[in-house]
Each structure stands twice: as C-alpha cells, then as structure tokens.
C-alpha cells in the first residue's frame, strides 16, 4: 500500500494519543512484522499492562491489527499485533472531521450569544439569557456578572475552522 | 535492484515533498537513480492510482511532464494539542447535552491558547481550573 504519511507523522500521532510509552511501542512494532504483547514488553521495558492498554487504544482506532491464536499447552489466547500504517491517514482525517464538527458548533454558539462572566478563574461564562435569570450574579462565587467580550474566541475559532476545512479539502 | 513498490513509494514521497511546485519527471528519475523508462512508468502508475497529477511541460525544447501530488500528506499538527482528540467524555459530548462543545471549559482554554502560540497548560487552564474533569 502506498501511503503519503511518513514516520514522523506516525510518531506525532503516537505522542498525541497521550502516552509517552506509545512512541516506544510503535517504534518496536514498526521494526517487526508481527509481534506479541509479551515480546513488546520485553523489548521496550514497558510494563505489560501498559503495553496492552496502549495496544487496545491503538486498536480502537484501527492503527494496529490483531490476530488471535491459542497456546497449544495452556489453551490461552496469544495476541499477535501488527501495525497498520495505511490506516493512519484515515485516522487523522476522521479525527480532524470530528474536531471540525465540534469547533463549528462552538463557533455558531459563540457568534449567537452574549456572555457574562464574574472574572473568577474556574467559573463559567454565562450566556445573557441565563445571566438575566440569575440577576447577573454568579451562582458559583456570588460575584456580579459583567459582559465578556468573546471576539478573541470567535476570531481564533473561525481561523481554526477555516484551517481545518482547507486541510480536509472542503 | 529495489522492489518496484519501494521505488514507487520513494517516488511518491519525493513528489509529495515538492508540494504545490511539483517536480519535473526527469528530475524524479535522476533523483531515484532509475532510468528514464522506469521513471516514466512509475509516474504513469502513480497517476493511474490517482496519487499524482501529470501536466505536460516544454523544458529545453523537449516535452516532459511536471508531477504534482494530488493530496498533501495528512498531518496531525493542527489538532495535536486539541483536548477533543483524547477526551474521555467524547462519547457523551453532544451539543444537546450537559457535556457539550458549546460550554466545554477545556475547549475554551485551548481556543484562547491558540493565538498565544503557546501550548495548552498541561494542568487545568483558566476556565477549566478546579472543575471536575468529568
């Protein structure tokens, strides 16, 4: 399969998946055709349970594939894992679409509402309609709610949405 | 001799790297150390597969082709630090529910961090501070 995605992107995805160990694990997977979780744990020094956790996470996104055999002695299952680099591009695209959808919803919401805020870190911004019901007092900290200019949010969101649309070719 | 597929993969990477400018077919096969016959066959193959575009171009009195990638490589950079990417609440996140992209504090912090060019604070940001992560 010909892919336009290179190793650097693969590693970035591994990092983005949140696990430091994921990078090491993928490195080890990349170098072997098919391997078991035990072998990965031995090779990389990552604990076996983390290895499995990461593998299942990658499997959720179809970035690795799985073959199951039975150990003839013990009758237990052995899992053979294989990297599927050709799925990477699809994964990235679908994630981008998902994020884009969320950001578009947010952008619409930000554009259509006026926000009020008590300026206390950790408190929520409250849209005008709700702020009226609360008589412009924060229900969490009790401070008065003042108008919150969300231009910066709208601007940043619009730019990001535009960027993602372009990258997705929409 | 390298396998044909390897050469194709290499050629594709080379074309993709040139981005919008494209590359002359003659430069491609020289770069790959292949013959012009192999070069043009690979280019044809890649075009057939819909991976590149070939535009005719006159170069030094000879007709050759300029090769452009059809798609630029997918990169995750633009959303790598977006909290939605790994959000545990993803399955429950919907505009109509309490957990919603409309009011998500983590998302707000990320958006606000965008123009600073700084990565999102690894801990709780300004709006997400003190909030239950759920």
Residue B134 belongs to some domain of the structure: no
The SS3 of residue A86 is: helix
Q: Test B76 with A95 for CB contact under 8 angstroms.
A: yes
- pLDDT score for B132: 47
Position A166 confidence tier, pLDDT thresholds 50, 70, 90: confident
Domain layout of chain A by residue ranges: 7-83, 96-168
Task: Decide if pLDDT at A4 tops 60.
Answer: no
Residue B74 belongs to some domain of the structure: no
Shared-domain flag, residues B9 and B37: yes
- pLDDT score for A62: 86
Residues of A in contact with B15 (CB under 8 A): none
**Which two three-digit tokens encode residue B128?**
């997400």
pTM: 0.71
Closest CB to A5 among B73, B77, B114? B73
> Is domain A7-83 annotated with CATH 1.10.10.10?
yes
User: How are the residues of chain B apportioned to helix, strand and coil, as percentages rounded to the nearest 5?
Assistant: 45, 15, 45
Residues of A in contact with B129 (CB under 8 A): 121-122
**Which two three-digit tokens encode residue B107?**
């998302």
- Spatial separation of the C-alpha atoms in residues A71 and B102, rounded to whole Å: 50
pLDDT tens digits, A38-71: 888 898 888 898 889 888 988 988 889 999 999 9
- pLDDT score for A1: 43
Q: Which of A95, A100, A168 to mutate: most B Cβ within 10 Å?
A: A95
Shared-domain flag, residues B14 and B58: yes
Q: Test B86 with A17 for CB contact under 8 angstroms.
A: yes
- Search chain B and give the residue with CA nearest A97: B79
- Phi and psi at A80, nearest 5°, equal -105, 125
Residue B75 belongs to some domain of the structure: no
The whole-angstrom distance between B132's CA and the closest CA on chain A is: 10
Q: Which domain holds residue B102?
A: 80-128
- pLDDT score for A6: 67
- pLDDT by residue for chain B (134 residues), tens only, comes to 456 677 888 888 888 877 778 888 888 888 888 888 888 888 899 899 888 889 888 888 888 899 888 776 677 788 888 888 878 888 888 888 888 888 888 888 888 888 765 554 544 566 766 554 44
**Which two three-digit tokens encode residue B91?**
């399955």
Residue B133 belongs to some domain of the structure: no
Q: Test A153 with B108 for CB contact under 8 angstroms.
A: yes
For residues A68-87, average pLDDT? 90
- A-B contacts at Cβ under 8 angstroms: 107
Interacting residues of B86 by C-beta distance below 8 A, sequence separation 6+: A16, A17, A18
Shared-domain flag, residues B9 and B60: yes
Shared-domain flag, residues B62 and B85: no
CATH code (residue B63): 1.10.10.10
Shared-domain flag, residues B43 and B96: no
The whole-angstrom distance between A70's CA and the closest CA on chain B is: 33
Task: Give the number of domains in chain B.
Answer: 2
- pLDDT score for B91: 85
The whole-angstrom distance between B134's CA and the closest CA on chain A is: 14
Per-residue 3-state assignment (H helix, E strand, C coil) for A37-81:
HHHHHHHHCCCHHHHHHHHHHHHHCCCEEEEEEECCCCCCEEEEE
Q: Test A2 with B103 for CB contact under 8 angstroms.
A: no
Shared-domain flag, residues B53 and B87: no
Shared-domain flag, residues B11 and B43: yes
Q: Which of B75, B81, B119 to mutate: most A Cβ within 10 Å?
A: B75
Q: Which of B69, B104, B119 is the last residue of a domain?
A: B69
Shared-domain flag, residues B98 and B50: no
- Asked if A96 reaches chain B (Cβ–Cβ under 8 Å), the answer is yes
Q: Test A18 with B86 for CB contact under 8 angstroms.
A: yes
């Amino acid at each position: 399969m010909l892919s336009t995605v290179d190793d650097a992107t693969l590693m970035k995805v591994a990092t983005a998946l949140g696990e430091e160990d994921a990078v090491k694990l993928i490195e080890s997977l990349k170098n072997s055709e098919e391997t078991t979780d035990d072998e990965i744990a031995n090779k990389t020094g990552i604990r076996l349970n983390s290895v499995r956790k990461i593998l299942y996470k990658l499997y959720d996104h179809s970035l690795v594939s799985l073959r199951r055999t039975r150990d003839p002695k013990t009758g237990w299952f052995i899992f053979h894992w294989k990297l599927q680099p050709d799925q990477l591009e699809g994964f990235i695209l679908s994630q981008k679409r998902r994020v884009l959808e969320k950001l578009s919803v947010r952008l619409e919401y930000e554009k259509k509402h006026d926000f009020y805020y008590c300026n206390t870190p950790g408190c929520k911004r409250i849209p005008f309609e709700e702020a009226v019901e609360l008589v412009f007092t924060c229900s969490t900290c009790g401070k008065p709610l003042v108008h919150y200019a969300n231009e910066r949010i709208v601007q940043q969101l619009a730019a990001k949405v535009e960027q993602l649309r372009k990258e997705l070719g929409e | 001799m390298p396998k044909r597929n390897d050469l194709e993969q290499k050629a594709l990477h080379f074309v993709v790297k040139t981005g919008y400018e494209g590359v002359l077919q003659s430069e491609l096969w020289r770069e790959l150390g292949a013959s012009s016959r192999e070069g043009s066959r690979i280019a044809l193959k890649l075009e057939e597969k819909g991976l590149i575009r070939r535009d005719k171009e006159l170069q030094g009195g000879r007709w050759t082709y300029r090769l452009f990638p059809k798609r630029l490589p997918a990169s995750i950079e633009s959303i790598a630090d977006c909290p939605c990417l790994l959000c545990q609440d993803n399955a429950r996140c919907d505009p109509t529910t309490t957990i919603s992209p409309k009011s998500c504090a983590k998302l707000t912090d990320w958006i606000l961090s965008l123009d600073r060019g700084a990565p999102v604070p690894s801990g709780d940001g300004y709006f997400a501070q003190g909030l239950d992560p759920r």
